[in-house]
Amino acid sequence: MKVVTGVVGNDIHVVANRLIDLSLQARGFEVFNLGVNTYLEEFFDAVIETGAEVLLISSLNGEAEGWGREVQLLKAKYKKLDDVIMMIGGNLVVGTGNADDIIPRYKGYGFDIVCHQVDLNTGLDSLEEMINERQLEVRKN
């Protein structure tokens, strides 16, 4: 399964990005890592170009919220992203925030999986669970 990943916006957290890349590869994913300072349009273009089934965006400086608000608009524009699993993780707000407030907000932005300050392996377990659930749905239909 193909995954496009990278760090959104004006965020230069290279080490975390590399750890995500290595962890995805260790789980058998084919990874297209766009690196740091990536704009949403670049993520979406890469998903279409690679045929990726998953888009995993990370943010550690909290700027993701400003960028995340644009996801619904871009999904409508690109139209080929309906079946793509949209995941975001890291520190998703500037300052402190409560996951009970943050997770529904980001789901409203269009993300399927939201991991605010969640351990990387726990987040990737959530991704694999969603993939398995979708595969079961396809088999049933």
Question: Of 13, 82, 112, 116, which is the active-site residue?
Answer: 13
Provide the 3-class DSSP secondary structure of residue 83.
coil
Provide the 3-class DSSP secondary structure of residue 77.
helix
Name the β-bridge partners of 57: 6, 88
Residue 55 identity: L
> Could you confirm whether 13 is annotated as catalytic?
yes
Provide the 3-class DSSP secondary structure of residue 87.
strand
> Could you confirm whether 125 is annotated as catalytic?
no
d(CA 138, CA 95): 41
d(CA 106, CA 111): 6
Question: Of 11, 82, 101, 116, which is the active-site residue?
Answer: 11
Active site residues: 11, 13
